Amino acid sequence: MMAEITSQWMQGSPGTADKWLCESFARGHGAFLGRITKAGERRFYYRYTGSSGQVRLLIGPYGGRGDGRTTFTVAQARDKARELAALYRSGVRDLREHLETEAKARQAAAQEELDRIETARVLAAQEAERNITVTALFAQWQAAELQPRSRTDGRRTGRKDGGQSVRWMFERRVFPVIGHRPVTDVRKAGLMTILDTARAEGRRRTANVLLAELKQMFRFALVREMIERNPLDTVTRRDAGGPEVPRERVLSASEVQRLVSALPASGLDGRSACAVWLILATAVRVGEAINARWEHIDLVAGTWYLPDTKNQRDHTIRLSAFAVRQLEEIRRLQAIRDIRRAIRHNVTADKADGKTTRATRGMRNWADHPAPASSPWVFPNHTGEAPVDKTTFAKQLADRQRTAAAEGWAGRTRARQSLALPGGKWTPHDLRRTAATMMAELGISADVIDECLNHMVQGTVRRTYIRDRRLAEQARAFDALGARLEAIVSGMPAQGNVVPIQRAA
C-alpha cells in the first residue's frame, strides 16, 4: 500500500493478516514502512535494496508519545528512516552490519569511559588513603584488628578492651604530636621523638609498649598499601625504652601490716583500700579485680568466677574468709554511696516538681522518683555504667608514694608519702606477686600456685593432656593465704612465719 503513513493509520485495528503501509522516498533512497501485525503490534521499518535483495531494517515500535529511542511517533520514525536513507546513499550497502558495528563501537567507548572513571576513582581513593591522617589510621586499625572477635575454635582475636587502652596512650602521647599528619608524611625521626620523650620521663616500659603498638599500626597501613614502608622497621626496644628489668618487688609481712594503718590515713577511697586487700587475698591481676562483676561472685559459696582472663581461660577463685570480708565491705560502702546518690536524685526531682522538701522528705518519695539502680560492677566509675579505669587505681597508689613535690599536683592528694614503704615503690601487680610469694612461704607447691594465678601450663603437650585444675588444692591454698593475711593484719605472730595448710583427709 503506497501512501503517507499517519498516526491515524498506525492506530488502526489489526486484521486477519499483517498490514503494511509504504511511504516511498526519492528513487534510490528506499522507503519508509509502517506495519500492524495481526496480533496488534505496530512497528516502523526502513526498506532498502542490499546485496542479496530487499532488506527491511527495524526502526522501532510505534508510540503515540514516543521518546525517539525505545518508541517512535510517526514523525520520529520518518526522520530516522531519512537518516538511514542518507547513509544508504552515501555508499553503505549493508546498513544492519554498519549499525551493529557502530553500536559495538559506542558500547566499547561507553565501557572505556566507565573504566576511566573507575580508574580515576580508585586512584583518588588510594591517594586519599595515602593522605589519611595518623588519627584516622588508628581508627581503622582499631576497628579492623583491635576489636574482640571469636574464632571458630572459641578463642578470641583482637584486644579484650577493643583497643581502648591503646587509644588512651595514643591520645596522650601520639595524637598531639603527629595525629593531624598524613601517614605518608610520618618519618622515623618524628616517631623517635615520641619514644624519646617517654624514655626521658623514666617511662621505659611505656616507650617499649608505644614502639610495639606503633609498629603494628604502621604494618596495618603497609599491608593496605597506604604507605610504602614501615618507618619503624629498623627500630628495636633497645632504641626505645631499652631492656626492661623484671620487677621483683614483694611486700614483706611487716610492710603488709603497715598498710593496716597506712591505707585509712592515706585518704584513699574505702573501696580502693579494699581492692588492695582483695588482690593480696586472691592474687588476681589488677584488671581482673577492677572489672569484677557482682553476678560472678558468690559470697555464700565463697567463689569468684572470672569468665574471661588474660590467657583466655576462665578461672574460679576460692574466696577465703578474709577475701569475703573485703567484698562485704565494698558492698557496704557501695550501698552508702547508692543511698546518698538516691537522696541527691530525689531532692533534685522534688525541686523539678516545684517542691521544697528536705533530703529526708525526698527519701520518702522514692516511689515517685526511683533512684538510679546500683551498678553491676564491684568497682564502678562515677556513673556506675562501667568499671573504674585500672590506671586510675594504680595512679592513686603511686600518688601516695612520692618523696618530693611534683609539678602539676593541683587537685591531687596531699598525702604524698602516706603509702610509701621501706622496701620502695610498690604497684598493684606487686600485690599479686606478694600473694604468690606468701603461698610459696606457706609450703604450697609451684604448680598449685600457678593454677591459683591462672598461669597457662607450660608446654603444648602438658597443656593438651593435663586438664586438672587442682581445684581442691587451690581452695586450700587460698584459705591458707587468707589465714596468713588475717594473722598479719591482726598482728598475731605465726609460727615460723607459716600458716600450715590443712590437708584433705
Enumerate the H helices of 353-375 as residue ranges.
359-364
Q: What phi, psi does 251 have (nearest 5°)?
A: -75, 130
For 401-432, the pLDDT digits (tens) are 986 555 455 555 567 889 999 999 999 999 99
For residue 501, pLDDT over 50 is answered with no
In this predicted model, which residue has the larger pLDDT, 353 or 141? 141
CA-nearest of 54, 15, 9 to 34 is 9
For 341-367, the pLDDT digits (tens) are 778 766 655 555 665 554 444 444 434
Spatial neighbors of 491 by CB under 8 A, at least 6 apart, are 257
Residue 62 β-bridge partners: 72
The mean of the pLDDT values for the chain is: 85
For residue 370, pLDDT over 90 is answered with no
Burial (CB count <10 Å: 0-12, 13-18, 19+), residue 469: middle
CA-nearest of 82, 48, 78 to 60 is 78
* pLDDT confidence of residue 260: 93
For 103-132, the pLDDT digits (tens) are 899 899 999 999 999 988 888 877 766 689
> HEC states along 97-152?
HHHHHHHHHHHHHHHHHHHHHHHHHHHHHHHHHHCCEHHHHHHHHHHHHHCCEECC
**Rounded Cα–Cα distance for residues 421 and 261 (Å):** 12
- Average pLDDT over every residue of 72-96: 90
CA-nearest of 52, 43, 118, 113 to 81 is 43
* pLDDT confidence of residue 240: 92
- Average pLDDT over every residue of 491-498: 54
Q: Which long-range contacts (CB under 8 A, 24 or more apart) does 194-197 make?
A: 195/235, 195/239, 195/240, 195/241, 197/173
In this predicted model, which residue has the larger pLDDT, 464 or 92? 92
Grid cell, residue 423, equals 622496701
Among 4-18, 128-142, 413-427, 458-472, the range scoring the smallest mean pLDDT is 458-472
For residue 287, pLDDT over 60 is answered with yes
For 297-312, the pLDDT digits (tens) are 999 999 999 988 877 7
Grid cell, residue 252, equals 614483706
pLDDT tier at 152, thresholds 50, 70, 90? confident
Per DSSP, 296 falls in state: G
* pLDDT confidence of residue 364: 44
For 194-217, the pLDDT digits (tens) are 999 999 998 898 999 999 999 999
* pLDDT confidence of residue 359: 47
**Rounded Cα–Cα distance for residues 362 and 342 (Å):** 9
**Rounded Cα–Cα distance for residues 347 and 356 (Å):** 8
- Average pLDDT over every residue of 175-197: 94
Where residue 39 falls (left for φ over 0; alpha for ψ -120 to 50; beta otherwise) is: alpha
For residue 459, pLDDT over 60 is answered with no
Residue 198's identity, in one-letter code, is: A
CB atoms within 10 A of CB 425: 15
* pLDDT confidence of residue 209: 94
Residue 145's identity, in one-letter code, is: E
* pLDDT confidence of residue 182: 92
Among 54-63, 172-181, 468-477, the range scoring the smallest mean pLDDT is 468-477
Give the angle subtended at the CA of 224 by the CAs of 221 and 229, to the nearest 5°.
Answer: 55
* pLDDT confidence of residue 246: 76
Class of domain 7-93: alpha beta
Grid cell, residue 362, equals 525526698
Rg (CA), the chain: 41
Grid cell, residue 342, equals 538516691
Residues counted in the chain: 505
470 and 501 Cβ atoms separated by less than 8 Å: no
For residue 244, pLDDT over 70 is answered with yes
**Per-residue DSSP letters for 232-295?**
TTT--TTTTT-PPPPP-----HHHHHHHHHHHHHTT--HHHHHHHHHHHHH---HHHHHT-BGG
In the chain, domain spans: 7-93, 134-223, 253-497
| Cα-based distances in Å from 134 to 180, 214, 220 | 6, 10, 12
377 and 386 Cβ atoms separated by less than 8 Å: yes
- Average pLDDT over every residue of 457-461: 56
The domain at 253-497 falls in which architecture? Orthogonal Bundle (1.10)
Burial 161-197 (b: 16+ CB within 10 A, else e): bebebbbebbeebbbeebeeebbeebeeeebbebbee
Give the angle subtended at the CA of 344 by the CAs of 341 and 347, to the nearest 5°.
Answer: 145
